[in-house]
Amino acid sequence: MSDHLTLVPGWATAPAALEPLRDALRERAPYLDVSIEPLPTLAQSGAWLDELDARLPQGGWLAGWSLGGMLAAQLAARRGGGCRGLIGLCGNVCFRARDDWPNAMPAEVFAAFHEACRLDPALTLKRFTLLVAQGARDPRTLARQLQVTQPALDPAVLDAGLRLLAVLDTRAALQGYAGPQLHLFAGRDALVPAAAAQALLDWLPDVEVNSFAEASHGLPLERPEEVAAAMLAFMREGENG
Q: Decide if 189 is catalytic.
A: yes
Angle at 19 between CA 167 and CA 54, to 5 degrees: 50
Q: Decide if 216 is catalytic.
A: no
Residue 17 near residue 149 (C-beta atoms within 8 A): yes
Cβ partners under 8 Å of residue 152, min gap 6: none
- Residue 12: left (phi > 0), alpha (psi -120 to 50), or beta? left
Residue 151: count of CB within 10 angstroms of its CB: 16
Q: Decide if 66 is catalytic.
A: yes
Calpha distance 65→222 (Å, rounded): 13
- Residue 179: left (phi > 0), alpha (psi -120 to 50), or beta? beta
Which residue in the list 114, 183, 216, 217 is annotated as catalytic?
217
Which residue in the list 45, 66, 183, 216 is annotated as catalytic?
66
DSSP string, 206-217: TSEEEEETT--T
Which residue in the list 45, 114, 183, 189 is annotated as catalytic?
189
Positive/negative CA dihedral, 64, 70, 75, 81: positive
Which residues are designated catalytic?
66, 189, 217
